[in-house]
Structure 1
Amino acid sequence: MTIIKAKISQENNNEEIKNLLIEFCEPKKHYYCFFDNERMYKDFCRTFSKTFNDDAPILKRCTKRITLVTNKDEQQDLIKNHHEGKTNHRGIRETYTRLQRLYYWPKLTLDVSNFINKCEICKKTKYERHPPEIPLKVTPKIDCPFQQLNIDLFTIEGKTFLTIIDAFTKLAQAYPIRSKNAIDISDTLIVYFSHYGIPEKITFDSGTEFQNDTVQKLLETHKIKIHFTPRHPQSNGLIERFHSTITEHYRILKQNFNDPPDKTMIYAILGYNNSIHSVTNLTPLELLFGHTSTRNPFDLYHNVRYFQQYHVDHKNRMKLIYNEMTKLMQMQKEKVINKRNAQPEQTTFKIGQTVFERNPLADRNKSKNRYLGPFIIESINNDNTCILKNQNNQRKKVHLDNLRPPVPGLSSHHPILPVN
């Protein structure tokens, strides 16, 4: 950037101004001018209009004189002072507005944006107004009942229940437990297994109630695959939606009957398991037992004389139903995923990026930092989770949705303000 300073006479200055314009001004190029007095400005305008025609340079008058800063270190110090000291870590727009009133240098807006986007304190303490949009992925296909269970804890009116839902039929159960310790949870799982058999896989959240030797040894003994979701409710979304629905059933029952929690929950589960599911158009009980009447499973095949033939027919019919339900569920999954992934803006994380993780304690304590870190992304898994490594080389698995996006470029989220 070139700065032109000239001292021009107050009287008879037409030739001086003309020579200055011809020597330093190029056609159609922008120039910013500051005049010490109004008379000089009028003389300049008069001479300019006589000197140039169509290819004239473009002049803009500045009414306030600001400081040009050319030293890079001084530029960074000014940004830091206005961002950290004078505005208590305010955003890009406010910091830029304060600076541009007093100072100027090329790419001022870009430097302000880059500095604030890399501010570690801002990353940890401020809300993320534009959380990452992670493309959804199709989960593994489920073909039959009790292939996969989703399990969690649910507390209402001071009573805790172990909630279990079958991912295929959506059949749910809620068992009251005395405490959240591993022994009570293991005993309750055994009760469930005695009713419905051993599943292939169980999905838990990452709570310590399930991540312990007692529960894991029990499942390993029965050769049950274990999957722990990171701190991310959507990864165990089936049971989270069940909790939302069962709460509605519970409230309705409480409005009409003032029963204790255990009894109310039994009737809530009964209502849930007899409700038609939006995807399958069948109730969980119908899909599990293969008939639409809970009174007599033989009613569907009343014309079959022999139990052996009934068993064969029942098996074939159930296989057909399960195949159709599998297709229906898969189509619904793909429909939801395609709709979500069609959104124009998706956040992409890469190995080696520096990121911050959402602090789970911040929702309950507003004085806590909103995010923890920094961390380095060491690897990215196919299920939208990643392995983070901190400065002490400790590693943890988290869902990508729980990360603050990496330092962004100059996007619409952090707009670059034009220089006026």
Structure 2
Amino acid sequence: LIPIGEAPIPNKEGEQLHIDIFFAQKLKFLTCIDSYSKFLIVKYIEDKSNLEEKVLELLQTFPNVKSIFIDNEPGLSTIQFKSLMERINVQIYYCTPRHSTSNGQIERVHSTLIEISRCLKQEHSLISNFESIMRAVQQYNKTIHSVTGKQPCNILFNKEPHDNMKNVLQNAQEKMLEHHNKKRLQKSYKKGDIIYEKIYGER
């Protein structure tokens, strides 16, 4: 496996976002997490035809966004979407296909949401699937994050001091890279080399 590289560290809340499509309990959502505060926003989508509008809605919460990290979702890879982001001065970083760690922040959040939602449905058997996800988001944003040591909502809305947060994020990234890159080797390729890709779950 090739080593995971460093990602940019944001200087303040709302500068750098991770966006993805989330499927849960037969529902589709557009998810967005702020790299700095870890604050999560989830928008329900009936289909993928209005992704541009939903992304614009998300960005209303983060008017100072400079960059977004997204998977190679077709609806977010169009010329129209790229042009839209260029007009509002937002740089797009597309994550490597079939490489779950590339957009790991949002992938881990999805797993957490599913688990919180499952617990909520067990505790309140009458709530709908939509409500369970929305309440899971609310609970997530009010829970102390393992990386920052603070509640995402308190960082985003400046209810707690976070002047040292960039250093906290930097240290967390260094520990993550050290852990994941232990058994990874840097490989160099030259023109003409044949490279095989192992695809999991497909035949």
Same fold, judged at TM 0.5 (above) = yes
Q: Does 1:192 align with 2:31?
A: no
Q: Does 1:163 align with 2:3?
A: no
Give secondary structure in 1 for the equivalent of 2:175.
helix
| Alpha-carbon offset, residue 186 of structure 1 | 1.3
**CA deviation profile, 1:88-114 (whole Å, cap 9, x unmatched):** xxxxxxxxxxxxxxxxxxxxxxxxxxx
Q: Which TM-score applies when normalising by structure 1?
A: 0.45
What amino acid maps onto 2:196 in structure 1? Answer: F
**CA deviation profile, 1:32-58 (whole Å, cap 9, x unmatched):** xxxxxxxxxxxxxxxxxxxxxxxxxxx
Give secondary structure in 1 for the equivalent of 2:145.
coil
| Alpha-carbon offset, residue 342 of structure 1 | 4.4
Quote the Cα distance in structure 2 between the aligned partners of 1:348 and 1:143.
Answer: 32
Unaligned runs of 5+ in 2: none
2:168 is matched with 328
Quote the Cα distance in structure 1 between the aligned partners of 2:51 and 2:180.
Answer: 36
Quote the Cα distance in structure 2 between the aligned partners of 1:193 and 1:340.
Answer: 31
Q: Does 1:237 align with 2:77?
A: no
**CA deviation profile, 1:5-56 (whole Å, cap 9, x unmatched):** xxxxxxxxxxxxxxxxxxxxxxxxxxxxxxxxxxxxxxxxxxxxxxxxxxxx
Quote the Cα distance in structure 1 between the aligned partners of 2:73 and 2:47.
Answer: 14
2:201 is matched with 363
Alignment of 1:381-392 (within 5 A): none
Quote the Cα distance in structure 2 between the aligned partners of 1:284 and 1:188.
Answer: 22
Aligned-pair identity in percent equals 26
In 2, are the aligned partners of 1:160 and 1:177 still within 8 Å (CA)?
yes
In 1, are the aligned partners of 2:70 and 2:94 still within 8 Å (CA)?
yes
RMSD of the TM alignment (CA)? Answer: 1.8
Quote the Cα distance in structure 2 between the aligned partners of 1:195 and 1:158.
Answer: 27
In 1, are the aligned partners of 2:147 and 2:169 still within 8 Å (CA)?
yes
Alignment of 1:10-409 (within 5 A): 132=1, 134-181=2-49, 184-231=50-97, 232-257=99-124, 258-291=126-159, 321-322=162-163, 324-343=164-183, 346=185, 348-352=187-191, 353-359=193-199, 363-364=201-202, 368=203
In 2, are the aligned partners of 1:172 and 1:273 still within 8 Å (CA)?
yes
Give secondary structure in 1 for the equivalent of 2:197.
strand
| Alpha-carbon offset, residue 281 of structure 1 | 0.7
The higher-RCO structure (CA 8 Å, 6+ apart) is 2
What amino acid maps onto 2:68 in structure 1? Answer: I
Deviates more, 1:251-260 or 1:332-341: 332-341
Quote the Cα distance in structure 2 between the aligned partners of 1:256 and 1:140.
Answer: 40
Quote the Cα distance in structure 1 between the aligned partners of 2:89 and 2:198.
Answer: 34
Q: Which TM-score applies when normalising by structure 2?
A: 0.90
In 1, are the aligned partners of 2:14 and 2:34 still within 8 Å (CA)?
yes
**CA deviation profile, 1:189-228 (whole Å, cap 9, x unmatched):** 2222223324100111012121112322221221110111
In 2, are the aligned partners of 1:186 and 1:215 still within 8 Å (CA)?
yes
Tell which structure's C-alpha radius of gyration is larger. Answer: 1
Unaligned runs of 5+ in 1: 1-131, 293-317, 369-420
- Change in CA separation of 1:218 and 1:354 when aligned onto 2, cut-off 3 Å: same
In 2, are the aligned partners of 1:198 and 1:222 still within 8 Å (CA)?
no
Quote the Cα distance in structure 2 between the aligned partners of 1:256 and 1:339.
Answer: 36
Q: What is the number of residues matched between the two proteins? A: 200
Quote the Cα distance in structure 2 between the aligned partners of 1:341 and 1:230.
Answer: 17
**CA deviation profile, 1:242-278 (whole Å, cap 9, x unmatched):** 1011111111111122322222222111000001011
What amino acid maps onto 1:143 in structure 2? Answer: N
Quote the Cα distance in structure 1 between the aligned partners of 2:46 and 2:80.
Answer: 17
| Alpha-carbon offset, residue 335 of structure 1 | 2.1
What amino acid maps onto 1:358 in structure 2? Answer: K
